[in-house]
């Protein structure tokens, strides 16, 4: 199965092409450019490098959230545009789960994205099995302490919210260091999460892809505050 995977949920952009579990191509970009500038050229370069076309993709994977609202919409729009002509199957995967699929080893990985307002989107996974240990959530970094103290295995953080977590918990027993250069999301992780979704029967046609924002936008929060709701 040919898979094109895309991540535009955070500050970085990543794309990968896989054939089942085999990684054919992967790229990662963290130069400060907007995803509207980078996502399409990155996807085009990936397909060209593999000698493939969108019509030959049997599965499209994209991060569906949590993450930047604008970034999620850019990624969804691009994947829908590529998948619609052939009505190919699509998998909108948890951004945090995709992070977990992109790392290997033993122990617990806490995937964290900067949610602003002093919060992180976070979830924890067992690395050996990729089993989910917590649901995706948005909370202050300090709210993770009870979970971390209860972990029986070593823990490390990835994602653009990892720095906030390390600032809070670097000295906590069992917390391992992860170099900043290795904390970014991988397109391969999105692709593997999409393949797992396909095998579990959770894929949808492109028109049914929707983002999962996990919380109200700033405009919606301000409107609710004005209305007193």
User: What are the chain's domains?
Assistant: 2-96+185-227 (3.30.420.40), 104-182 (3.30.420.40)
Do the beta carbons of residue 109 and residue 125 sit within 8 Å? yes
Instruction: Please write the tens of the pLDDT for every residue from 46-102.
Output: 999 999 999 999 999 999 999 999 999 999 999 999 999 999 999 999 999 999 999
112-131: burial string, b at 16+ Cβ within 10 Å, e else: bbbbeeebbbbbbbebeeee
Instruction: Please write the tens of the pLDDT for every residue from 104-144.
Output: 889 999 999 999 888 999 999 999 999 999 999 999 999 99
Q: Please give the pLDDT value at position 221.
A: 47
- As a whole number of angstroms, the distance between CA 54 and CA 50 comes to 11
Do the beta carbons of residue 114 and residue 120 sit within 8 Å? yes
Instruction: Please write the tens of the pLDDT for every residue from 139-188.
Output: 999 999 999 999 999 999 999 999 999 999 988 999 999 999 999 999 99
Do the beta carbons of residue 110 and residue 137 sit within 8 Å? no
Q: Once rounded to an integer, what is the mean pLDDT over residues 1-13? A: 96
């Amino acid at each position: 199965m040919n898979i094109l995977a895309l991540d535009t949920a955070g500050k970085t952009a990543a794309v990968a092409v896989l054939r089942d579990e085999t990684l054919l191509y992967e790229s990662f970009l963290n130069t400060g450019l907007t995803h509207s500038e980078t996502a399409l050229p990155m996807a085009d370069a990936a397909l060209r490098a593999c000698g493939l076309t969108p019509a030959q993709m049997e599965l499209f994977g994209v991060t569906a959230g949590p993450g930047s609202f604008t970034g999620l919409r850019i990624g969804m729009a691009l994947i829908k545009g590529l998948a619609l002509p052939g009505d190919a199957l699509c998998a909108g995967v948890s951004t945090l789960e995709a992070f977990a699929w992109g790392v290997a080893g033993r122990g617990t990985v806490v995937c964290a994205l900067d949610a602003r307002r002093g919060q992180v989107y976070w979830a924890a996974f067992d690395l050996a099995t990729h089993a989910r240990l917590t649901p995706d959530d948005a909370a202050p970094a300090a709210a993770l302490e009870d979970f971390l103290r209860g972990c029986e295995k070593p823990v490390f953080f990835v994602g653009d919210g990892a720095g906030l977590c390390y600032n809070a918990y670097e000295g906590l027993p069992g917390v391992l260091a992860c170099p900043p250069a290795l904390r970014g999301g991988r397109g391969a992780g999105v692709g593997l999460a999409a393949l797992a979704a396909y095998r579990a029967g959770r894929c949808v046609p492109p028109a049914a892809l929707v983002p999962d924002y996990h919380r109200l936008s700033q405009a919606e929060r301000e409107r609710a505050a004005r209305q007193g709701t």
